[in-house]
Amino acid sequence: MTDRITLSVIKADVGGYVGHSSIHTDLIETAKEKLSNAQEKGMLIDFHVTRCGDDLELIMTHKHGVDAENIHKLAWNTFVACTEVAKELKLYGAGQDLLSDAFTGTVKGMGPGVAEMEFEERKSEPIVIFMADKTSPGAWNLPLYEIFADPFNTAGLVIDPTMHDGFIFEVVDVYEHKKITFSCPEEIYDLLMFIGAMRRFIIRAVYRKDGMIAAAASTQKLSLIAGKYVGKDDPVLIVRCQAGLPAVGEVLEPFAFSHIVEGWMRGSHHGPLMPVAFYEANPSRFDGPPRVIAAGFQLCNGKLIGPRDLFDDPAFDEARRKANEIADYLRHHGPFEPHRLGLEDLEYTTMDQLMKKLEGRFQPE
């Protein structure tokens, strides 16, 4: 136990309604009941249950620190209970993100995505939690770079003396299971060389130079965890805002540009990341295009005051319109790259089978 507050966002897809497009309300209700029991027992200070597409999102505050076994177990048991409901209703892909039958001390490496941070709550603590569906953790690289290192996005980097020193990025190599930090702005060219390759190098956290944590992202990639495709690794991201950190508007600003991410149909296509209001987070066209929602909270002694639906703003209409235009343009490529991902990144493929079947028909050219 510590005096500091921990904010844990733990998510999983434990059953879709209909197909992979959304979530049945019974799952939300079940999750609320489980977390409410934990709150009554004093384990949680507060919680909020929501969803983005087919992903169930558990937002929890507590005093147990990051990677706390009891909190991870609570999330796991909640997902198991929701899986039971999903099975009863024969919802699609019931339990798909729970890769094990038993809990072994952490949800990390077991399917769910996790973003957590522990900090001292400031005089006022505005927080934005981003949640995405039909994409993967590399989707946060570009916006995180813009928020914390791009002066064309974040005016505060230039004109606020408390932000002028810049930020430190922690980057994970998800293939090699290694991490490295870059200090910016001094090392932005080095940083960009890595994070531009957003399949392999993923920003996990951002710190102010005095060590204060500013952002934390989920970096779990299900396809790497399971060694084969078992569902999408739809990511979450926590960003603290204001007063020496980027303003809420600076944190949202990168999403006014619908950048191209991997995911969408069968986790095997490039598509635009569309910022939407909560009620629009139901990717249905070609199982997409990929969506992102932004839930704003003010923390008050660990209580989650909110959420405010931050993309429910006509100022993001143009990003949505552009995303539809880009979606149309990419869709016209059908099975051709770069709409379809490169061979090595496909999460569904018939290539091995075809190569075997057609082996004898290949002739020297």
Residues that bind Mg ion (CB under 5 A): 13, 16, 20, 53-55, 93, 133, 232, 234
Can you tell me the distance from the alpha carbon of 225 to that of 270, in angstroms, rounded to the nearest whole number?
21
Q: Which of 11, 13, 287, 309 is catalytic?
A: 13
**Interface with ligand F6R by CB under 6 A: which residues?**
19-20, 93, 134, 232, 263, 265-267, 287
Element (H, E) at 62: strand 55-62
CB nearer to Mg ion: give 72 or 232. Answer: 232
C-alpha gyration radius of the chain: 20
Shortest Cβ distance from residue 20 to ligand F6R (Å)? 4
| Cβ distance to ligand F6R smaller for residue 133 or 150 | 133
For the bound state, the minimum distance from the C-beta of residue 361 to ligand F6R, rounded and expressed in Å, comes to: 28
State how far the Cα of 38 lies from the Cα of 358, in Å rounded to an integer: 57
What 3-state DSSP class applies to 211?
A: coil
DSSP category for residue 92: B
Given Mg ion, ligand F6R, none, residue 265, with its beta carbon under 5 to 8 Å by kind, binds: ligand F6R
Tokens of 234: 């739809």
* Cα distance between the two ends of the chain: 69
Q: Give SS3 for 112.
A: coil
Residue with Cβ nearer ligand F6R (19 or 105): 19
Report the DSSP beta bridge partners of residue 296: 128, 308
In whole angstroms, the minimum distance from the beta carbon of 156 to ligand F6R comes to 35
- Which option in ligand F6R, Mg ion, none does residue 19 bind, with CB closer than 5 to 8 A by kind? ligand F6R
240 binds, among ligand F6R, Mg ion, none (CB under 5 to 8 A by kind): none
Distance CA 67, CA 44 (A): 14
Q: What's the closest the beta carbon of residue 301 comes to Mg ion, in angstroms? A: 33
Question: Closest approach of Cβ 263 to Mg ion, in Å?
Answer: 9
Positive or negative torsion for Cα 271, 273, 274, 280: positive
C-beta closer to Mg ion: residue 133 or 170: 133
Q: Is 17 a catalytic residue?
A: no
What's the rounded Cα separation, in Å, for the pair 325 and 272? 9
Please, are residues 247 and 234 in contact by the beta-carbon 8 Å criterion?
A: no
287 binds, among ligand F6R, Mg ion, none (CB under 5 to 8 A by kind): ligand F6R
Nearer to ligand F6R among residue 118 and residue 287 (C-beta)? 287
In this complex, which beta carbon is closest to Mg ion, that of residue 150 or of residue 234?
A: 234
Catalytic residue among 11, 34, 108, 232: 232
How much of the chain is in helix, strand and coil states, percent to nearest 5? 30, 30, 40
Sign of CA pseudo-dihedral 172, 174, 177, 178: negative
- Report what 221 binds from Mg ion, ligand F6R, none; CB cut-off 5-8 Å by kind: none
Cis, peptide link before residue 338, omega less than 30° from 0: yes
Residue keyed to tokens 């027992």? 41
| Active site annotation includes 232 | yes
Q: Choosing from 73, 92, 229, 322, which is the catalytic residue?
A: 229
* Least CB distance to ligand F6R at residue 189 (A): 33
* Known catalytic residue at 32: no
The entry of Mg ion, ligand F6R, none that residue 126 binds, CB within 5 to 8 Å by partner kind: none
Tell me how many helices (H) and strands (E) the chain has.
9, 15
Q: Which is nearer to Mg ion, 62 or 232 (CB)?
A: 232
Contact 61, 53 (CB under 8 A): no
Pick one of Mg ion, ligand F6R, none as the site partner of residue 55 (Cβ within 5 to 8 A by kind).
Mg ion
DSSP state of 150: -
Q: How far is the CB of 259 from Mg ion (least distance, A)?
A: 19
Would you please indicate which residues are annotated as catalytic (active-site) residues? 13, 229, 232
